[in-house]
Amino acid sequence: MSKTAIVVFSDPTAGHEEALGRLFNAMFLTLELKDKGQDVALIFQGAGARWPAEVTKPAHPAHALYHAIADKVVGVCGGCADVFGATEGAKATGVTLVRDKQIPGTGGILDLSRYLDQGYRLVTF
C-alpha cells in the first residue's frame, strides 16, 4: 500500500483564489486516498499553518470537507505557526502543534524528512 504525506504551504491571508484552490486540492486528494484505504497524512506547514483557524469556521467553504478528513490531519508545524503568527489559532482548533526537531530560532518544527525515511511520497500544495 502506498503512503502519502500531503503538505499545505499556501497562505490563506494571500487574498488570492489560488491559495484556496491549493487547500481544496490538498483536501480532495486526502479524501480520495482516505476513501481508498491508503495511508495518508495531511500537514500544514509554512504559511499554511494559518489554515486550521480558517477551515474550522462553520461559514468557510472548506469547513465540511475539512471535517471529513480531520482524522488524517497530522498537525501544524509548530515553528511555522510561531513564525507566521498562527500558534494561538491552531491551538484554538485543537490541531496538534508538532515540534519534532529543534531548529535555531524556533520552538521546534515538524520534521518532514521522517516521512521520507518511512517511505512516504510527499505532495505539496
The pLDDT tens digits for 56-71 are: 999 999 999 999 999 9
The predicted structure's pLDDT at residue 90: 96
Q: Where exactly are the structural domains of the chain?
A: 3-124
Q: Note the CATH architecture for domain 3-124.
A: 3-Layer(aba) Sandwich (3.40)
Per DSSP, 37 falls in state T
The predicted structure's pLDDT at residue 1: 78
The predicted structure's pLDDT at residue 45: 98
Residue 105 has pLDDT above 90, yes or no: no
The predicted structure's pLDDT at residue 16: 84
Query: All 3 cell numbers of residue 27?
Result: 483536501
The predicted structure's pLDDT at residue 113: 97
Residue 86 has pLDDT above 90, yes or no: yes
Confidence band (pLDDT; 50, 70, 90) for 106? confident
Is the pTM higher than 0.85? Answer: yes
Report yes or no: 34 and 69 within 8 Å, Cβ to Cβ. Answer: yes
Give the percent of the chain with pLDDT over 70. 100
User: Which residues 6+ apart lie within 8 Å of 63 measured at CB?
Assistant: 55, 56, 57
- DSSP letters along 83-119, please? HTT-HHHHHHHT--EE--B--TTSS-B--THHHHHTT
The predicted structure's pLDDT at residue 15: 79
- Alpha-carbon distance 4 to 17, whole Å? 25
E strand or H helix at 18, and its extent?
Answer: helix 17-35
Mean pLDDT of the chain: 96
